[in-house]
Every structure is written in C-alpha cells, then in structure tokens.
Chains A and B, each alone.
Chain A
Amino acid sequence: MGKELIKLMNVYVSFRIGGLFTKVLVNVLRNINLIIYDGETLGLVGESGCGKTTLGKVIAGLIKPTSGKILYKGKDISAMTKDEFLTFRREVQYLHQDPFSSLNPVQTVYTILSRPLIKHKIVDPSNVEEEVMELLRMVGLTPPSDFMYRYPHQLSGGQRQRVALARIMSVRPKVLIADEPVSMIDVSQRIGILRLLLDLRKETNMTIIYITHDLATLRYISREGRVAVMYLGGMVELTDVERLLTRPLHPYTQILLSALLEPDPNITRNKKVNLRSMDIPSIVNLPPGCKFHTRCPYAINGICDVKEPDLVEVETNHYVACHLVKGDLK
C-alpha cells in the first residue's frame, strides 16, 4: 500500500433543515475516521441517504465539515494557503453521478475541455487543440474530430460521462472521487465506462474513491481495493473487497450482501431478508446506541440500544463497529 494521501479525522457534518422556527440539526456524517492511501481503490457503499455522497464531497473539499479535520498530504485543507488549496482542488477531482447536469449545455466539447487546460497552463497554448484530441482519444471518443464541436445535448449519456471524465483528466488529478458514475447510464454502456475507469487508473496510477450502492460494479472496479460500508452517516465496516464479500462481519453488511441477486431466480425468490424492521430510521431522529439495533436481528437489549460501538480492528485490516463481533472474538 502507498503512503497516506488523505486522512479524515473525526469528521462530523450536520445541516440545519426546516423553516424559520422549526429548524432541526441533522447529523449527516458522524465521527468518520479514514485514511486513504496513494494509488488505492476505495469503495464507499451503503443505502441511499447513508451519507456516502456527502462523504465524497467532504473529501473533495466541496462541503466543509462541521467539525474534524481533513489532511491532504499531511496538511489541513482548511488551513491551506490559496495556492496550496488550488493545487488540492486540481488534484482531487469529483465525477458527478448525472452526466446530463455536469456538462454546460451551451459549451461545445472543445470549450469544456480546453478551458481548464488554458486556465492552469497545462499545455502550451499552441498545443491546446492537440491536447483536447488526445483527451478525447484517452476516454474512447474516437475519432476526436467527430466529437470536438458537438454540444452536450448531441451526445448520449455514456458519451457525456466520457466527456466529464476527459475534463477531469485534463487537470491530471491524483484522486478521483466517482459518485455512482454508471447509475444514470444505459445498462449497455456501463461496462464500457467501468473499463475506462480501470484503464485510466492503470495508466495514471491515480487513487479512486468509488461511491456506489451496487456491490457488483464495486467488485469490478476494485478487485484489490478496500471498501467502507456506511450506515446512517457512520462507518460500520472497513476491509478488503474480497474479504468483505466472503467473510462479512457486521450484521448490516451480511444483510446487504444477502440482498445481492443470484443468477438462479429460485434462490433469489426463496431468499429471506433477516431484518427486524424493514424501515430505515429517519436521519433527523437517530436511534440511540448502535444505529442499526432497530433492524439488527442479533441486537442485545441493554447493550446495543445504549452504547454506540466504535470502529475497531478485529483482524488485520478488518475494522468493524459492532458489539457482538467484538465479543465474538474476545
């Protein structure tokens, strides 16, 4: 594993929602501690509303944490000088989920790709056009001259996502946060985008943080990487992808995996999801103790509904936040 690149220390994010008199504080992320190593692939998985997108945006510096620190290459990003922050901005990029909203509708592909090149003087002004062509070739939009002067509305979802990727690659990022990059794309084009992400990773050795609720695509992207499972704004399990898939320890992860579809429909049909309650608790009104105890089939009264478990290393490189798992291995 490479050296530490990004380090999140006790990150909390809360938003105020509601009207003038009925404001409530919502804790979207609670006590996130995470180290991201140079060159690794990290998956963030969880149900919708668990805070994975927020965590991605916090890492990209788009959302300021309410408390806690984010270190990039050992430096706190909130205490950076203007130049340092601009470098951080450039090196940590975020790929949006919706390619229909992430490209400016009135700019041609050429304008979209050349602007960052000119702004950051990445290539000599005379080479901008060649560089744009090279970027388009890199993301598989060939021949580039067919796409250079098109507007986003003349491209398909997959092609738009490729342009968005090319724009990100134009600033030579070190970290790419991909927020469900294939969920809005035609199923037939998904594998192409995923393969492209893998190729780009191999070529540039960048770190990829892959946010998803789809464990199948996660496995495709980060066969050797790690994965963090999130539930209601907290991290419940963090380990290698293979280990998570074969030996999940947290009850939530086990249930998440059992929800995966099997090729044999009979197995899927007879599968029972072993949950005490199907409803995910409201994030506005979080349950006390372990946030999963209201649904967990193994929850013990008096422990799980009182004290929130910490994320502890139960085996090498396998972190779990569960009272039962700790007790099991004691």
Chain B
Amino acid sequence: MARASLRKTYGKALSRTKENLVEAFHALVEDKLAMSGLIILVVFVLMGLIGPFFIPPPTPSPNIYAPPSLQHPFGTDFQGEDIFAKIVYGTTSMLIIAFVTGIFITIIAVLLGSIAGYLGGYVDNVIMGFADILLAIPQLPLFLILAVLVKFLDIVSLALLISALSWPTAARAFRSQFLSLKERDFVEASRLLGFNSLEIIVYDLIPNILPYILINVVLNAVYAIYIVTSLAYLGIIPFESNNWGIMLYQAWAFGTIYNKRTFMYIMAPIGAIVFLQLGLLLFSRALEVIFNPRVRTGE
C-alpha cells in the first residue's frame, strides 16, 4: 500500500521532470547562442575524453618548425612534436582543473554566502571580514609566492588551492542575493507554515538562485583557466608539458611570432583558450534557459 502510493508520487514527479526537460530542450534549440556554446563545449569534452584514443601522443621528431600541413594541421614545434596533438592532450587536464575549481569555488561560496546572508549579524561580519582580507591580496603574485612554499603536485590539488583562495568574490555575490531574497514575503510565509531555517535555505532560497549558482560554476571555471594558463606561462606548473599556457610560453620564447611559417604555433594555444572560454560563457546562457522557469516557459 505504502509502496504503491510512493510509486504513484514518484511517477508523477518523474513525468513532470520529463516534461520540464522537453520544455527546456525546446527553449534551448530556439536560443542560437546558447546552443552554439553547448556545441563548442561538447566538442572540447569529446576532445579531452576520447581524443587521446585516436590521436597518437606528441613525440619529438627531426621535422621541427614545420608549417601547417595535412599531417600536422597546426605544424610542429621546436622539438618536432605535433602541435594539434599537444592541444588535444592538454584538453583533459584543462577541463578537469576548470570544472573542479569552478565547482569547489561555488560550493564554498554558496555555503559561506548563504550562512552570512541568511543569519546576518556577527556571523556575517566574521565571514565577510575574512573575505575582504582575501580579496585585498592580489591573486597572481600570491600564487607566485605560494609556488615557492608549496609544491604543486597534481592538477586536483592545484584546483583545491585556487578554490581556497578565490571564493570571496562569489561568496559576496551569493550573500547579497540571500540578503534580498530573505526579505521576500514567501520566506515569512514558509516560516509561518513551520519550516525551519535549513528547510527555508534549501527549499525556498537556493532553488531561486540555482541558475545563478550554475552560471557561477561556469564563470569560475573561466577564471580557473585564466589562472592556470597564467601560472603555466610563468613556469609555475612544472608537471604538465602539454599545458596550453606552457605551449604559449615556448612559442613566445622561441620567437615563433616573428615567422609566418610558425604562425599557427602560437595561435593554436591562444585559439584553444579563447574557444573554450567562449564555449563556457555561451553555455552559461544555456543554463539560464534551462533552469529559469520564466525563460523556459517563454514569458
């Protein structure tokens, strides 16, 4: 009996979810920019996931500084390695670092921002005071100094370090969202119905800023790519030879920018970074389309 009723309730919920998904898909197809962002991102994810199975790893060869050809679409670098293969092999770690950092920054920011915004008072002052201190320190020099003190061993620990230092901006944004949302009458109505603070934060407030949270994941991923590329360019991430930032540095250091034949050597990593960023930014639009009922139902 109980199981039957449960199945009935869940069945209803599932059919609603399905309907919502169909609605979201239709809205997505209509928004060309959002759709192209999704496509760019899917191409990069496929490149990172299954690219290494099809494209042989870059190996040194005597054919150095080769111009673009069918065999080497972007030419070869100073040790004769295929640049296209290097870009493909660099994608996986770039995607991992972008999304791990994006997700971690957002989790920390939502947790601290919601607590500070909803509770206010003393808790708010402490959290935001700490955020202000972190915000006041310039990020890149800080990483330069940290690179001397700590050894960056792998991409996940690097992502965690970036997250631990970069949450304040997002936390401030979430806090202000919570500050304005908690004054709305429906929060008071929920309180009157006997819901406690945790239930109100989880069921009333967070769903209201869900599109905003997901967009923040993407924007923070964009930020992470900038930071990682910059650090690699400056030579602080020693464990990655196929990193786009390192490729950029090598292309620059070997003067390829002054030669027409090796033009693609420097343009390939720049193009990869620009396209991935563009894909992510347009994809954040798609998230808005999917998760905001107002946009989704077209009103």
Contacts and interface: CB of A to CB of B under 8 A. Distances in A.
Interface string A124-150: 111011000000000000000000010
20 contacts: A93-B192, A94-B188, A101-B184, A103-B186, A104-B190, A104-B204, A106-B207, A106-B208, A106-B293, A115-B203, A119-B194, A125-B5, A126-B5, A126-B9, A149-B16, A151-B294, A153-B299, A164-B189, A167-B193, A171-B194
Contacts of A89: 191-194
A154 B188 CA distance: 22
A326 interface: no
A94 B192 contact: yes
Contacts of A119: 193-195, 199
A135 to B, nearest CB: 13
B78 to A, nearest CB: 54
Contacts of B186: 101-104
B30 interface: no
A60 interface: yes
B8 interface: yes
Nearest to B207: A106
Interface string B277-299: 00000000000000001100101
Given A62-B191, A104-B190, A125-B2, 16 more contacts: A89-B192, A94-B192, A96-B185, A96-B189, A98-B185, A101-B185, A101-B186, A104-B204, A106-B207, A106-B293, A115-B203, A125-B5, A129-B12, A151-B297, A153-B299, A154-B297
Given A107-B207, A153-B294, A62 B188 contact: yes
Contact of B210 (A101, A106, A171): A106
A126 B8 contact: yes
B6 interface: yes
Contact of B193 (A90, A98, A153, A154): A90
The 6 closest A-B pairs by CB, nearest first: A126-B5, A102-B185, A101-B185, A96-B185, A116-B193, A104-B186
A77 B190 CA distance: 19
A93 B294 CA distance: 29
B5 A90 contact: no
A171 B210 CA distance: 28
Contacts of B9: 125-126, 128-129
Interface of A: 60, 62, 86, 89-90, 93-94, 96, 98, 101-107, 115-116, 119-120, 124-126, 128-129, 149, 151, 153-154, 164, 167, 171
Nearest to B6: A125
B179 to A, nearest CB: 15
A96 B188 contact: yes
A79 to B, nearest CB: 19
A215 B235 CA distance: 77
A229 B207 CA distance: 41
Nearest to A112: B186
A102 B188 CA distance: 8
B192 A151 contact: no
A128 B203 CA distance: 18
Contacts of B293: 105-106, 151, 153
A90 B192 CA distance: 7
B287 to A, nearest CB: 14
A171 B193 contact: yes
A119 B16 CA distance: 21
Contacts of A93: 192
A93 B188 CA distance: 11
Contacts of B195: 115, 119
Contacts of B210: 106
Given A90-B194, A119-B193, A104 B5 contact: no
Nearest to B193: A116
Contacts of A115: 193, 195, 203
Instruction: Specify which of B194, B203, B208 lies most central, judged by the most chain A CB atoms within 10 Å of its CB.
Output: B194
Contacts of B190: 104
Given A101-B186, A102-B185, A126-B8, A60 B192 contact: yes
Nearest to A88: B194
Given A107-B207, A149-B16, A120 B194 contact: yes
B203 A167 contact: no
Nearest to A57: B188
A90 B2 CA distance: 27
Contacts of A126: 1, 4-5, 8-9
A91 to B, nearest CB: 10
Contact of A154 (B2, B194, B204, B299): B299
Contacts of B5: 124-126
A101 B190 CA distance: 12
A167 B191 CA distance: 13
Contacts of A120: 194
Contacts of A151: 293-294, 297
A58 to B, nearest CB: 13
Contacts of B207: 104, 106-107
A90 B194 CA distance: 7
A22 to B, nearest CB: 20
A86 B1 CA distance: 30
